[in-house]
Amino acid sequence: MAERIVITGMGAVTPIGIGCEEFWTAAKEGRSGVGRITSFDPSQHAAQIAAEVRDFDPSQFMDKKETRRMDRFAQFAVAAARMALEDAGLTITPANRDRIGVYIGSGIGGINTWESEVAVLLQRGPGRVSPFMVPMMIPDMAASQVSITFGARGPNAAEVAACASASYAIAHAAAVIQRGEADIMITGGSEAAITPLMVAGFANMRALSRRNDDPAKASRPFDAQRDGFVIGEGAGILILESLASAQKRGAKIYAELAGCGLTSDACHITAMDESAEGATRAMRHALHVAGLTPAEVDYINAHGTSTEMNDKTETLAIKQALGEYAFKVPISSTKSEIGHLLGASGAVELIATILAIRDQVLPPTINYETPDPDCDLDYVPNVARPARIEVALSNSFGFGGHNACLVMKKFEG
């Protein structure tokens, strides 16, 4: 990357903590955020568990009147953005607002609003459907509401790339800065899709874990007994900034975004290409852009969904991208603790990656009990581990064949 891009602020809404430090403390301790679904009665569903954000009060982050005009996924985004801006010490003013943009990904968008308004239509007729339905449900409203709430008037867009949405948004936000269209980008992902329809749809395609009797153990990436992912919700927002802008402001710098790799499998609507060719190219390209070799990678925060084929295929991709060095690199999946946040997962996982670099500690992959011969790398099982981390990768892969790899480096001025 020509223009150096750094991270100066972060905010998170997750099933194991609201705020980055709360989330990170729980992640290092290996806490599970998975439990029986409480937002609706799941008794008729094959999968009855999820990683819900249970203690979120939107009125702590925005005007109560405005919350009624936002779907839950947009509320999460505004809350995480407020935390990130405060963390960055960044105030948006008439002097800088045209140079601050917003790119936020969401794989699903306002599905809570869509489902509730369909029920209104069927039960009470078209005249009772909310006039706010459309602007509450469309996927760009996380980015738009953040822009409106804080007054950022630079480039503004939503990224939809399934479970790689947030990572794509972050990569494209960095490109906006490099093109000179903005100095600062508010970026990441947000998702709130724990609804009856979404849970039924994912379960019926055999994607979700059905370990309903033991929710905390259900998400078990790379373990031989894994039986599907656990749907989660939340948001992660990062402040990306040109190094020149950050230094001019005297901002603290968490880490440097050194490279991005984006590819497509061009293979299947849901499954990863079993050859792992596309995921391999994403990692190789990200390292090439960063000017790094496989031997310089100290940690990988894996996509690691806890599905049979994803974990097997990602393991193969890591081996192909790093060669024999793959067996020396620690890998962990944050999804073991927070479930799969779909379009928000890449942003929350990148925050975990950055904090791992800051604290020089590897977060664990919890629930790892039975080794799988096809998953034979170091997955940092069950307990956090101190480590030297200068360079880390964060992987995201999405339905439709979207692959993303982001390379983070410890910042050196």
What residues does each domain of the chain span?
A: 5-249, 259-409
SS3 126: helix
Note the pLDDT tens digit of each residue in 298-357: 999 999 999 999 999 999 999 999 999 999 999 999 999 999 999 999 999 999 999 999
Strand partners, 235: 13, 190
**Mean of pLDDT values over 187-200:** 98
**Catalytic choice (20, 163, 260, 375):** 163
**Mean of pLDDT values over 132-148:** 97
Q: What is the pLDDT of residue 3?
A: 87
Residue 187 has pLDDT above 90, yes or no: yes
Q: Is 20 among the residues known to form the active site?
A: no
Tokens coding 354: 């950055």
**Mean of pLDDT values over 208-236:** 98
Say if residues 382 and 365 touch (Cβ distance below 8 Å): yes
Residue 190 has pLDDT above 50, yes or no: yes
Q: What is the pLDDT of residue 392?
A: 98
Residue 375 has pLDDT above 60, yes or no: yes
Q: What is the pLDDT of residue 355?
A: 98
Residues 6 or more apart whose Cβ sits within 8 Å of residue 185: 100, 101, 102, 103, 154, 155, 173, 174, 176, 177, 239, 240, 241
Say if residues 168 and 161 touch (Cβ distance below 8 Å): yes
Q: What is the pLDDT of residue 245?
A: 98
Residue 115 has pLDDT above 50, yes or no: yes
Q: Hey, do 5-249 and 259-409 end up sharing a CATH topology, with the first three levels equal?
A: yes
**Catalytic choice (45, 172, 285, 303):** 303
Tokens coding 285: 């390209």
**Mean of pLDDT values over 177-187:** 97
CA atoms within 13 A on the CB side of 362: 28
Note the pLDDT tens digit of each residue in 68-88: 999 999 999 999 999 999 999
Q: What is the pLDDT of residue 317?
A: 98
**Mean of pLDDT values over 201-212:** 97
Residue 413 has pLDDT above 90, yes or no: no
CATH architecture of 259-409: 3-Layer(aba) Sandwich (3.40)
Please state, in angstroms and as integers, the Cα–Cα distance from residue 147 to each residue in 95, 110, 157, following that order: 16, 17, 10
CATH classification code of 5-249: 3.40.47.10
Q: What is the pLDDT of residue 1?
A: 47
**Catalytic choice (45, 172, 285, 340):** 340
Task: Please give the span between the terminal C-alpha atoms of the chain, in angstroms, as a whole number.
Answer: 16
Distance (Å, rounded) from C-alpha 147 to C-alpha 102? 6
Predicted confidence band of residue 2 (pLDDT cuts 50, 70, 90): confident
Q: Is 268 among the residues known to form the active site?
A: no
Distance (Å, rounded) from C-alpha 117 to C-alpha 134? 10
Nearest to 332 by CA among 349, 309, 351: 349
Q: What is the pLDDT of residue 366?
A: 98
Q: Is 402 among the residues known to form the active site?
A: no
Tokens coding 57: 């009060």
| Residue 186 φ then ψ, to 5° | -90, 115
**Mean of pLDDT values over 360-381:** 98
